[in-house]
Amino acid sequence: MGNRGEYGTELNKVQSIILSIFKEIVRICDENDIIYFIINGTALGAVRHGGFIPWDDDIDIGMTRENYDHFLSIAQEKLPQDLFLQTVETEPNSPFYCAKVRKNGTKFIEEYCANLNINHGVFVDIFPFDNIPDNLKQRKKHHLKVNIISNFFIAKCLTGSSKPQHGVIGGLKIAVRKLLHIVLILVPKKILYRKLDLECQEYNQTPSKVKAFVKYSYLQIPSIDLEKVDRISFEGVEVNCPGHVNSYLKHHYGDYMMLPPSEKRVGHRPYSLEF
């Protein structure tokens, strides 16, 4: 399959592959005392639908930094051969700060990175969660610094955007990214990644009431709810979710049990998809 119009007929296949990847990640975590937790639409789907949101085509996992680093250190050795752990260490052309576990022999190509020479297999995302400052002014400053460095890192790798850009503002964003891409030609990607990584972890030695995937400030969870995760069923598999998951979902989505309007019931809609 190669175009967006046919995607609806393939969604069940995508979900089946993603679920098989997820089960392997859960197995490795459970066997090695690595604490993970489902987040975002995955947690919402577990509560509202008992599994995938019917139109969703991804699974998102979070891990505190210590658990994330532990997982990265052992995953490639313990994953079956048909799965690939994608990080900037295992694949230097990767434009992603978070890790992905991809299914070899498949393609789930997102348009903005279609021209990159990377493994484009169907994937599960794994996000590191770090401490963020309790002081709101410090938190905003920290988030701003991370996003500036992140934008430089992404512009080094890509000229497109993961989200459709429209109008004058959208065109300006794309133009700035293309300009940065040219300006950064002589800057080693590893330097930008290292700077981003250090900035994300700046407060990990400071006690904090909240953890987050720092690039996206809305992806924050009370630290206490990650120290003792709960269990929930996702497509018949018992998995971890943040403690007080209903409070987490209300914070993120408001009235999370209400279905969105039909026009918003869409997933990533890949540019190209192959099994």
Which SS3 state, helix, strand or coil, does residue 213 take? coil
Which tens digit of pLDDT belongs to each residue from 214-247?
A: 988 778 999 999 999 999 999 999 999 999 999 9
Q: What is the pTM of this model?
A: 0.89
pLDDT of the residue at 140: 94
Query: Which pLDDT score, from 0 to 100, does residue 217 have?
Result: 74
> Which domains occur in the chain, in start order?
4-135+206-274 (3.30.460)
pLDDT of residue 159: 66
Please tell me the predicted confidence (pLDDT) of residue 186: 85
| Distance in angstroms (rounded) separating the CA atoms of residues 106 and 211 | 34
Beta bridge partners of 123: 102
pLDDT digits (tens, 9 = 90+) for 136-167: 999 999 999 999 999 899 888 876 555 554 45
The whole-chain average pLDDT of the chain stands at 90
For helices 136-157 and 189-200, angle between their N-to-C axes, nearest 10 degrees: 160
The H-or-E segment that residue 196 falls in is helix 189-200
- What distance in Å separates the CA atoms of residue 179 and residue 30, rounded to the nearest whole number? 45
pLDDT reading at 4 higher than 60: no
